[in-house]
Amino acid sequence: MADLLLGGDLPVRRLGFGTMRLTGPGIWGEPRDSSTALRVLRRAVELGVNMLDTADSYGPYVSEDLIAQALHPYPDGLVIATKGGFTRQGPDAWQPLGRPEYLRQCVEMSLRRLKLERIDLYQLHRIDPQVPLADQLGELATMRAEGKIRHIGLCAVEVGQIEQARELVEVVSVQNIYNLARQRHRDVLRYCTREGIAFIPFFPLQAGALARTDGVLQQSAAAQGVTPSQIALAWLLHQSPMTLPIPGTSKVAHLEENLAAARIELSEAESTSLGSQWSDEP
């Protein structure tokens, strides 16, 4: 499986690692077992992961701190993608805030926590409907010009929003919820594939639900001697050369299982059969 060239200059392997699940319940506070969280991060890199996805709102701040604690000084070629534009009010509580001065603060503090001089991929975690998009992306573009950001990405957007954003800045990635059970953003995936934009599906395993399902997914897994979650990840990789799934976990064993999905090959018929068994969700 060929690497994906993020932004035209950053080669990344097409199974990354999402760090959201390393925090406490409700993506709030410290993990139950910090030593295990650190082991998971180190093991991911040992197994060849060279793209970590995080955000200042995971914890908040906890995920970024763990990455620096586990891996700094970073190995050559490791891409750390983070996000800003969400405030946290408590467990499972999120509120977008896209004022330029706040986004600048987010970037500056992420640089400090991650011990970086430049963030390889900085993603607007949500578009704030209360702030002009030109102001939000304009501030990120200014910080890119200052050398604080290398590339800019978007999260949770529709095609029209991507097109609007691209009139303001170069967009190298889009991160949307997408998995076998939730395929509503197929048009976004097609657009990103056509335009050479990395498509980063989050919740690629539907928070573990796809590992427990039956039917065609279970049958395909049994036929290949693998797990349903591995087939679900292989299906995502099969959808486009621009897909970059970021399955997250707080357990080393699950990490190793997820990353082994990169070795699974699906036929076109298998992929179509798997994809057609699910109904789109809003």
Catalytic residue among 58, 122, 178, 191: 58
Domain count of the fold of the chain: 1
pLDDT number for residue 212 = 61
- Residue 117 belongs to domain spanning: 4-208+239-250
pLDDT number for residue 282 = 43
SS3 198: strand
Segment 84-93, tens digit of pLDDT: 999 999 999 9
Q: Is the pLDDT of residue 187 over 50?
A: yes
In a domain, residue 270? The reply is no
In a domain, residue 277? The reply is no
Q: What is the pTM of this model?
A: 0.95
* Per-residue confidence band for 280, with pLDDT thresholds at 50, 70 and 90: low
* Per-residue confidence band for 113, with pLDDT thresholds at 50, 70 and 90: very high
Indicate which CATH number applies to the domain containing 122.
3.20.20.100
In a domain, residue 169? The reply is yes
In sequence order, the 6+-apart residues with CB closer than 8 A to the CB of 91 are 24, 25, 26, 27, 28, 29
Cα angle: 81, vertex 150, 202; to 5 degrees: 25
In a domain, residue 16? The reply is yes
More confident of the two residues 219 and 104: 104
In a domain, residue 257? The reply is no
SS3 183: coil
b/e map 256-273, b = 16+ CB within 10 Å: ebbbbbbebebeeebbee
Q: Is the pLDDT of residue 178 over 90?
A: yes
Q: Which of 149, 174, 19, 20 is nearest to 94 (CA)?
A: 20
Helix boundaries (H) for the chain: 34-46, 62-71, 100-114, 133-145, 159-166, 186-195, 216-224, 228-239, 252-259, 268-276
In a domain, residue 24? The reply is yes
* Per-residue confidence band for 68, with pLDDT thresholds at 50, 70 and 90: very high
**Mean pLDDT in residue range 58-87:** 98
In a domain, residue 214? The reply is no
In a domain, residue 246? The reply is yes
**Mean pLDDT in residue range 203-216:** 70
Tell me if residue 191 is catalytic.
no
